[in-house]
Structure 1
Amino acid sequence: MKNIWMLTLCLASMLSADISGVGYAQTNKEAKKEALGDLSQVIKSEVRSNFESKSFVKGDKGNSSSSSNIKISSNLPILGADFTFIDRAMEVEARVELSPHKVKALYTKKLQNIKKELDSISSEIGNTSSSSSTLKLQLYSDAYSLLKEYDRYESVAMILGSKLPNRPTLTKAKVKLELAKLDSNIDSLDMASRVLAKSFKNKNIFVYPPLMQSNTTVAQFGAVFVKKLKAKVKSVKSPKNASYLLVGEYVVTKKMMVLNYELLSIKTNEIVASKTININKKAYKNIQVKPKNIDFDALLNSGVISSSSLKVSLNSNRGSENLLFNKGEDIELFVKLNKMGYIYIVGYTQTKEGSFSYLLELSEGNGNSRFVKFINADDASRWISLGEFTVEPPFGVESIQVIASNRKINSLPSVSYDEKSGYYIISKDIKKALVKTRGIKKKKSKKTELSEDVMSFTTIR
């Protein structure tokens, strides 16, 4: 049987050099945070592009994914990073480096420790009486938390070329199957939020709404639950004021929902605490748990172009993931390119009233030039605001796709101006529009570097 180690050897040669990030801010602390975010984004790009293209291995029953439904996140754990600071006239420049030869062993050791904990839980499960459903529920819940943690560290370790232990014998699929056989006594969302909150006593926590596994947009359940959880932990209103991020994900079985939350340190993205609970189906029977745009979400986040040297990133005043905005709130969007180049932005709007895609105006000018923005060398690696807007009806899901090139962009999707909406519409068939933007990139010469990033957020009343 062909196994995952061939993939590891292939990727190890790609990132044998140091990986770096840079951040600019008024203080060392803020610049360090920006640099860490930049480093995380670089690693995310590498993980996403390589997992999408090479993460399938031949198993006994055909092709199967080696990464067990990892949702590639920029909240990846950073171990053993080195920081340097340069005081400039009006700001501080922070640089962070992750040297594979120095940190590979740290990730290997971390994976070994998590695997030992999982092996111990597996042993306890095997020794537990079939009548002890409450204990089994707790053990399988703990195993689910550890498997999520294992996936996060393994995704980075693979890119760095770390020596990987054999995967734990207990898998997410097995845990989900066993949990589906058990009953949960958590029968309300108030009770669920209280149980979770007991595990997260830290101060200055920014709470994100939970997402369905492998999705990037918030369903109705996430919007309802995050309000309840925020009220029960020591939360802050903005990630900028946070010391920790509380990030959630769930899967749904026939009897229950398996909901996991992880408390991440802002400094390292390491997990400070983790808790998995199982919520009885009747607690959310009248609440939508699946995002409405699940098919397009998967399409948008697959096949993302990533250059080895040109990196483009999207962000907002709430971060770049697990985004939910309420009526009347202000959203500010940002873009960052790591070196001089050109960008254009495609938006995808999905509401009850309909769907459409559009080109976003980025500069003054005539024709296609109004949709293209040049990033000069002085603005490289700095967040550039794309403007603010207020959340107003109609509500739904908004996705943003940024496309960057090191050469001037002369070919764009054709648009027509819609006076009613004020948008330059590409198409009312958003899937066709996505094909158009990625089709354009394929026609570029091999000498042209191209990079892409996507971000989605949900707006509600």
Structure 2
Amino acid sequence: MKLLLFLLFPFSLFGVTITGVGIGSTPTQAKQEAILDIVTNIGGDFLASFEKVQQVENGQVVQDNKKKVSKFQYNYPILNPIFSKPKFIDDKYQVTAKIDTKHSKHLYIKKLKQLKKSIIHYQNEAKKSRDNVTKIFLLKKVFELQKEFDRYFSVAKVLKIGHLPSPPTSISVVENKIAEINFQPKHWEKFSWVKIRLNPDRKILKVGENYQILVKFSKPCYFYTIDHIITTTGISKSYLIEWNDHLEGVEKFIIRVPNSMINKWILLGNFQVSEPVGDEYIEVVASQRPITSLPTYMKIKQDGETQYILDGRVYQNIDKLIEYRQLTPIDEAVGKIHFQSRK
């Protein structure tokens, strides 16, 4: 249990010192708490309070929490911490831990150089690969290594370590490359009876610009829509778009296309580009049979707004949806579109 926490960022000719205090029933536990204090103070932790969270599988609520408070903590790596001698006070051990620029500088630079070298290696291998399965595997390696690079880089910046290796890429750039491969026509070219486009018909839209999403089907059907968003700030989420807020269950997300509307462009809605900017991937999944189940999602109500979020990052959800559709009837089809928003 964390009982005491403070942070010192003294500036000197030698750089920065970050100090944390931990208290525990054993010296080892006290040291662990002291490290957690440093991690918390570097990245901070924050609370996300949701009014209501439901997990829905096949249209059935399998978990329902009316109130949920989640605590998130950044996983920052601490290299070469210096611990004080444990003190036994009030039946507890107290330990002070610190890291500073002078003693940690060479370790962070060395680690970042190693990670950058590995990232560039896998990037080059991915570029050379002509097989998309292998390319995606290599890009996922790049993604995980870049996340690790970012964590070390963040601590090094707080310590004001100079002459750091520059980031070789960013997780949003890598994730977009993975998503783009999965959005290539060869994954869905047999599903030619679903089309989707934007108005204006451009690949890049600017903040504040209005646009429309239109779809066209060559067969009568039922469909639902999934929106995947990867922002330049690293946010990555997928969610089901609710079209019928007056209905319940699966019907909230389903639109029926009758015979009279086939081979005609159908306006799904009017939208406006807002921040944060990034890449957006929209999937329209259609079936000639009534749709009775959807991918598992979390119904989250926060600040009066309800969203239906798929669990995982975008590149993971796109993979899951490809697998999900492989198990569905042959009369299902999917239309996809990718566009970018910019300031």
What is the TM-score normalised by the length of structure 1? 0.34
Kindly name which structure, 1 or 2, has the bigger radius of gyration based on alpha carbons: 2
Higher relative contact order (CA 8 A, sep 6+): 2
**Structure with more strand by fraction:** 2
